[in-house]
Amino acid sequence: MPERSLIYAANWKMNHGPGEARAVAERFLSLTSPVKGRSLWFFPPAVSINVLAQATRNRPDIRIGVQNVHWESKGAFTGEISVRMAMEAGAHSALAGHSERRQLFGETDDQVAKKAKAALNLGVTPLVCVGETLAEREGGRTESVIMRQLGPVLEALEPPEWSRVVLAYEPVWAIGTGKNATPDDAAQIHELIRIELGRHGITGRVPILYGGSVNAGNVLSLLASPQLDGVLVGGASLDAEGWAELVGLS
Ligand code: PEP
């Protein structure tokens, strides 16, 4: 049986400008060492990517990513940044379709697919997020919503490209609310996603992370499920001590 690899991804959202990002990174580095089979990904605000990439350059287990990119390479898109720009700053991965982007900024399923494709085209790993709202869950639409979100991504990417994609299942009702999905709920959705990938000829294992109020108290029970390949964490990743403790638990 191949050894299990786990990804612990920190989404800092709109927290930690360059000065704070450096301080948190330095403290985190002093508290952790590389562990076989464990990758640590950080998604800081775009302005802090470079500082974080520099601070962590001697840690091969750490990868820096960007929280959002535009699919075009350049042009009149005020406020946006391209994949190449993020790469130049030090990003090797790009979140696409985080629920806050979808809900607060109107990002559509098609745009998420274009972002994922643009990232892949330049060798940047897309971390594509899907997940249902509370109303959708209560209306029995979890599965159809996730399939709808995945649809354009499945159309945009060729099956071999999926070996360079990571997915995250993040139920919107669990993000920042303190309510996490049960390990069984999460595992069930991960399994559905894998079945859908299989139906589209994607045969290799695509890592699927779980996100939504993960903390040091629940991470072990979530990761006990072999369906989870890691976690995507917001609030509990913001302070160096707490994040170091969480990633050190498994
Ligand atoms: C997230 O931002 O992706 C997230 C899961 O946030 P939190 O861990 O705070 O719920």
Ligand 1 centroid, distance to 183 Cα (angstroms): 16
214 C-beta closer than 6 A to ligand 1? yes
Rounded to whole angstroms, how far apart are CA atoms 104 and 44? 18
Query: Which residue, by CA, sits nearest to atom 4 of ligand 1?
Result: 234
**Mean pLDDT value across residues 193-201:** 97
Strand (E) or helix (H) holding 151: helix 142-156
65 C-beta closer than 6 A to ligand 1? no
Rounded to whole angstroms, how far apart are CA atoms 243 and 10? 8
**Mean pLDDT value across residues 183-195:** 96
Residue 111 has pLDDT above 90, yes or no: yes
Residue 239 has pLDDT above 80, yes or no: yes
- For 147-176, the pLDDT digits (tens) are 999 999 999 999 999 999 999 999 999 988
Q: State residue 1's pLDDT score.
A: 52
* Cα–Cα distance list, 120 to 16, 73, 95, 172 (Å): 27, 13, 12, 25
Answer yes or no: 92 catalytic: no
Answer yes or no: 170 catalytic: yes
- For 41-91, the pLDDT digits (tens) are 999 999 999 999 999 999 999 999 999 999 999 999 999 999 999 999 999
Ligand 1 centroid, distance to 37 Cα (angstroms): 23
Q: Which of 213, 243, 246 to mutate to test the pocket of ligand 1 (most atoms within 8 A of CB)?
A: 213
Mean pLDDT of the chain: 96
Q: State residue 250's pLDDT score.
A: 72
97 C-beta closer than 6 A to ligand 1? no
Q: Enumerate residues 6+ apart whose C-beta is below 8 A from 2.
A: none
Q: State residue 180's pLDDT score.
A: 81
Rounded to whole angstroms, how far apart are CA atoms 24 and 179? 26
Give the pLDDT band (50/70/90) at residue 2: low
Q: State residue 177's pLDDT score.
A: 87
